[in-house]
C-alpha cells in the first residue's frame, strides 16, 4: 500500500498521508480517551517521527525608541554624624629658623654712596641687615679703592662682586665712582674707634676742592667669623 501511495504523492506527500491516516484511525479514540497507554505512546512516536525540525531563529527586530527619563527619586535621609578625627600635629613656631646673628662663614652685602658740593666730609652709614655676634677691630675693616689690589681679608673681591674673608668687612669703590675722594675711614659708630660694631659701621669720606661736586659710591661685604 505504501508503494502505491509513494508514486502519486512523492516522499513528502507520503509522510503527510501516513500522518493523516494515523490521525483518522485513532483521532476519535484519542480525543475520547479510549486509547490505551501503549497506543498513545505509539501515536506520539509516529507524530514526532514525521514532525518537521524546528526552523532557524528569526533575526532580531529593530531596537525600540528610547524611553523617557524616569522621575527623580526621593532625597535620601541624612547620614549619621561621623566620628571626630584625631588632633593634628602641632604647627611650627612662627619664629622657627630666625637667626639673631649672622651665622659663621655666612656673608651679607650692601651698597654705599656719598657726595659733597665742594671741600667737605660726609659720614656714610653701613648697616648690617643681620648683626654680627661681635664687632670688628681696626685691622679687620678695609677700604678698597678702584684698581687697587685687595688687601688680605678681601682677596678676590671687587665692587661688582663684593666678598670678604670670615671676620672681615670690605668696602669697595665702584668703577669711575671716586671723583675728588681723598680720605675714607671706617669707624665703629658705638665706640667712635676705628673698626666696626656688631650692627654696622660709619664710613667717613673726605672730598678735596674741585670745580665740580665730589662723589663716591660702591659696595661692601662682611662675613661672620
Residues 84-123 pLDDT 10s: 888 888 766 555 556 899 999 999 999 999 988 766 788 9
Helices (H), 34-76: 37-50
List the beta bridge partners of residue 143: 171
CB 138 within 8 A of CB 168: no
Of 87 and 38, more confident: 87
Give yes or no: residues 27 and 119 share one domain.
Answer: no
Which residue has cell 666678598? 163
d(Cα 95, Cα 4) in Å, to the nearest integer?
121
d(Cα 14, Cα 171) in Å, to the nearest integer?
129
Per-residue pLDDT, averaged over 40-48, amounts to: 71
What pLDDT, on a 0 to 100 scale, did the predictor assign at position 32?
45
Of 87-96, 143-152, 216-225, the range with the lowest mean pLDDT is 87-96
Residue numbers of the domain that contains 21 = 2-50
- Tell me whether residue 185 is in a domain: yes
What pLDDT, on a 0 to 100 scale, did the predictor assign at position 76?
82
What pLDDT, on a 0 to 100 scale, did the predictor assign at position 69?
85
Give yes or no: residues 115 and 217 share one domain.
Answer: yes
Dihedral angle computed from the Cα positions of residues 203, 209, 214 and 217, in that order, rounded to the nearest 10 degrees = -30
- Tell me whether residue 58 is in a domain: no
Give yes or no: residues 43 and 113 share one domain.
Answer: no
- Tell me whether residue 160 is in a domain: yes
Give yes or no: residues 41 and 134 share one domain.
Answer: no
Q: What share of the chain is helix, strand, coil (3-state, %, to 5)?
A: 20, 30, 50
At residue 148, φ and ψ (nearest 5 deg) are -90, 140
- Tell me whether residue 148 is in a domain: yes
- Tell me whether residue 158 is in a domain: yes
What pLDDT, on a 0 to 100 scale, did the predictor assign at position 220?
98
Q: State the pLDDT confidence band at 191, using cuts at 50, 70 and 90.
A: very high
d(Cα 145, Cα 147) in Å, to the nearest integer?
6
Does residue 5 have a pLDDT over 50? no
d(Cα 86, Cα 67) in Å, to the nearest integer?
50
CB 113 within 8 A of CB 211: no
What pLDDT, on a 0 to 100 scale, did the predictor assign at position 42?
74
At residue 115, φ and ψ (nearest 5 deg) are -160, 155
- Tell me whether residue 79 is in a domain: no
Which helix (H) or strand (E) covers residue 88, if one does?
none
Give yes or no: residues 42 and 141 share one domain.
Answer: no
Q: State the pLDDT confidence band at 1, using cuts at 50, 70 and 90.
A: very low
Give yes or no: residues 115 and 211 share one domain.
Answer: yes
Q: pLDDT digit string (tens) for 192-210? A: 999 999 999 999 998 887 6
Give yes or no: residues 126 and 32 share one domain.
Answer: no
- Tell me whether residue 86 is in a domain: no
CB 220 within 8 A of CB 111: yes
Give yes or no: residues 124 and 46 share one domain.
Answer: no
Q: Average per-residue pLDDT in the chain?
A: 81
What pLDDT, on a 0 to 100 scale, did the predictor assign at position 97?
58
Give yes or no: residues 134 and 199 share one domain.
Answer: yes
Structural domain count, the chain: 2
Does residue 14 have a pLDDT over 70? no
Give yes or no: residues 115 and 212 share one domain.
Answer: yes
Q: pLDDT digit string (tens) for 51-90? A: 566 668 878 878 888 888 888 888 888 888 888 888 888 7
Q: State the pLDDT confidence band at 6, using cuts at 50, 70 and 90.
A: very low
- Tell me whether residue 61 is in a domain: no
Q: pLDDT digit string (tens) for 172-184? A: 999 888 888 888 9
Give yes or no: residues 121 and 210 share one domain.
Answer: yes
Give yes or no: residues 25 and 127 share one domain.
Answer: no
Give the pTM.
0.57
CB 124 within 8 A of CB 113: yes
Amino acid at each position: 500500500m505504501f508503494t502505491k501511495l509513494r508514486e502519486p504523492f512523492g516522499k513528502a506527500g507520503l509522510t503527510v498521508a501516513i500522518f493523516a491516516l494515523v490521525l483518522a484511525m485513532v483521532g476519535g479514540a484519542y480525543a475520547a480517551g479510549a486509547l490505551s497507554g501503549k497506543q498513545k505512546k505509539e501515536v506520539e512516536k509516529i507524530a514526532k517521527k514525521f514532525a518537521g525540525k524546528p526552523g532557524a531563529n528569526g533575526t532580531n527586530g529593530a531596537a525600540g525608541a528610547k524611553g523617557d527619563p524616569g522621575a527623580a527619586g526621593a532625597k535620601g535621609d541624612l547620614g549619621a554624624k561621623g566620628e571626630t578625627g584625631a588632633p593634628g600635629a602641632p604647627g611650627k613656631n612662627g619664629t622657627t629658623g630666625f637667626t639673631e646673628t649672622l651665622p659663621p662663614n655666612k656673608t651679607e652685602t650692601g651698597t654705599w654712596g656719598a657726595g659733597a658740593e665742594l671741600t667737605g666730609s660726609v659720614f656714610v652709614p653701613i648697616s648690617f641687615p643681620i648683626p654680627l655676634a661681635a664687632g670688628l677691630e681696626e685691622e679687620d675693616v678695609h677700604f678698597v679703592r678702584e684698581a687697587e689690589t685687595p688687601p688680605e681679608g678681601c682677596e678676590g673681591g671687587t665692587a661688582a662682586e663684593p666678598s670678604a674673608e670670615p671676620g672681615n668687612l670690605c668696602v669697595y669703590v665702584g668703577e669711575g665712582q671716586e671723583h675728588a675722594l681723598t680720605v675714607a675711614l671706617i669707624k665703629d659708630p658705638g665706640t667712635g674707634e676705628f673698626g666696626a660694631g656688631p650692627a654696622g659701621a660709619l664710613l667717613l669720606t673726605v672730598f678735596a676742592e674741585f670745580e665740580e661736586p665730589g662723589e663716591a659710591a660702591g659696595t661692601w661685604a662682611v662675613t661672620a667669623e
